[in-house]
Structure 1
Amino acid sequence: MSSTPVIELREVSRRYDDGPPALHHASLTVRPGEAVAILGPSGSGKSTLLNLIAGLDRPDEGTVTVDGVRVDGLGEAGAARFRRAKVGMVFQFFHLLDDLTVADNVALPAQLAGTPRAAAHRRAAELLEDLGIDRYSGAYPGTLSGGQRQRVAVARALMNRPPLLLADEPTGALDSVSGEEVSRLLRELHAEGQTVVLVTHDLALARSCTDRTVELVDGRIASDTAATGAGPLSRSAR
């Protein structure tokens, strides 16, 4: 496995208006195959960190590199291309298109990237089968349970084989049974070698799905701890 980081943030800061920094001199390294949970209360900087990694926002200071791409230097069009190629994103509220079938929702990122429709749908069928929801390929999202819709969202996020999967409170809108389904799916993806960054306030979810937790407090990284109980990682390992 390559030791080149999938994510490398160096002294990143982001401030909005005249308030305190949403993120303050944060440095973070995530290597291939790691599953990392970003924890912290509301307003701690979790969403800002996620948006910077995904190229949805830019830092005021510092650098953001994802899979060898300097994300902080990209324009709007470049950032969109970067996300299609490098990042799969799963959100709390699914963001599926209700007027498209499950298969069409999953295939859409590949088609937007220029993949022919037939090839995109073959890949979508493979993913839906892998995730155990291929029987719903012709259904519409509104007919599915929350857990099923989140599986569709995960399939869509994996469509272009991104090196990085970002999950933003992926169980936040689900009941406990559906939430456990999604938690198990994230564990399986990590076991297969997918690099995952999970943003959550749920410590139990973080412990069950990841092997490392990073805690944010007031925009600063307060701790960076391996799940093995080995204690905080040294700054040189971050």
Structure 2
Amino acid sequence: MTVPVIELREVSRRYDDGPPALHKASLTVRPGEAVAILGPSGSGKSTLLNLIAGLDRPDTGNVTVDGVRVDQLGEAGSALYRRSKIGMVFQFFNLLDDLTVADNVALPARLAGTARAEADRRAAELLENLGIGRHARAFPGRLSGGERQRVAVARALMNRPPLLLADEPTGALDTAAGQDVSRLLTDLNAEGQTIVVVTHDLALARSCTNRTVRIADGRIIEDVRSGAVAPEAVR
């Protein structure tokens, strides 16, 4: 049996005096899985994502990602964890407009201490593999939404993370660009990349993931696998 990429055990998080944003959530994600986290606004999806990303800490329970107890990390440890263990893709890209596409992609490696020549080589390789190598010297503002999201995916993959987190990755895109990003995520998963997608979009979940986890009122209420699952992902 393979070691899980993500393991949450009885995780709860409450803000102020309101109801729990997440209540005793347990979730295991194994290598090679592509998982969609679905739920309405306020259901706890973003809280779950932030806990996995080390951007927040649970009040109770354990969060382990690729063997790292994320809930026990301090600020410096959390930053190092995010650089080495996860890649993040956001709805609005979060690219730096004053850097070229290539420099945006290379930035995580440079922050991790990789030599510039090696970081540039890796960035060029990713951009070519994702079909946007011709835009390497352009600035993000000159690209379409779909192209900018491909740049964001390339940046997220820069340090070869075991886990790719995507937060509403098609939310700011038109239908055609959204379908393009969905195919990209499908292709990455077919190559073995473990992916967790947080989305409201059921069509996106169905097209690029093989497992759906539904959250409502801070609780995981459904966890269903569909279609073919990579052998290493089977419990």
TM tier relative to shorter chain: over 0.9
Residue in 1 that maps onto 2:93: 94
Q: How much has 1:119 moved relative to structure 2?
A: 0.5
Deviation digits for residues 100-157 of structure 1 (CA, Å, limit 9, x no counterpart): 0000000000000000111000000000000000000000000000000000000000
Corresponding residue for residue 11 of structure 1: 10
| 1:152-202 per-position Cα deviation (integer Å, ceiling 9, x unaligned) | 000000000000000000000000011011000000000000000000011
Q: 1:67 aligns to what?
A: 66
Alignment of 1:166-205 (within 5 A): 166-205=165-204
The equivalent residue for 2:231 is: none
Q: Which residue of 2 aligns with 1:33?
A: 32
Other structure's SS at 1:154 match:
helix
Whole-angstrom CA distance in 2 between matches of 1:99 and 1:196: 29
Paired residue type of 2:83: R
Q: How far apart, in 2, do the equivalents of 1:186 and 1:163 lie?
A: 14
Q: 1:162 and 2:161 equivalent?
A: yes
Q: Which letter maps to 1:14?
A: R
CA distance in 2, matches of 1:181, 1:75: 38
TM-score using structure 1 length: 0.95
SS in 2 for 1:8: strand
Once the two structures are TM-superposed, the CA of residue 228 in structure 1 deviates from its matched residue by: 3.2
1:69-105 Cα distance to aligned partner (Å, 9 max, x none): 0000000110000000000000000000000000000
For 1:203 and 1:143, how far apart are their aligned partners in 2? 30
Please report the RMSD computed on the Cα atoms of aligned residues, expressed in angstroms: 1.4
- Report which stretch shifted further, 220-229 or 164-173: 220-229
- Give 1:110's aligned residue: 109
Q: How many residues align?
A: 231
Q: Which runs of 5+ in 2 are unaligned?
A: 229-233
Give, in whole Å, the separation in 2 of the partners of 1:20 and 1:117.
48
- For residues 139-154 of structure 1, what are the structure 2 equivalents within 5 Å? 139-154=138-153
- The TM-score, its normalising length taken from structure 2, stands at 0.96
Instruction: Return the letter of the residue paired with 2:149.
Output: Q
Q: How far is 1:227 from its partner?
A: 1.3
Equivalent residues in 2 for 1:69-84, closer than 5 Å: 69-84=68-83
* SS in structure 2 of the partner of residue 96 of structure 1: coil
Shift of 1:28: 0.1
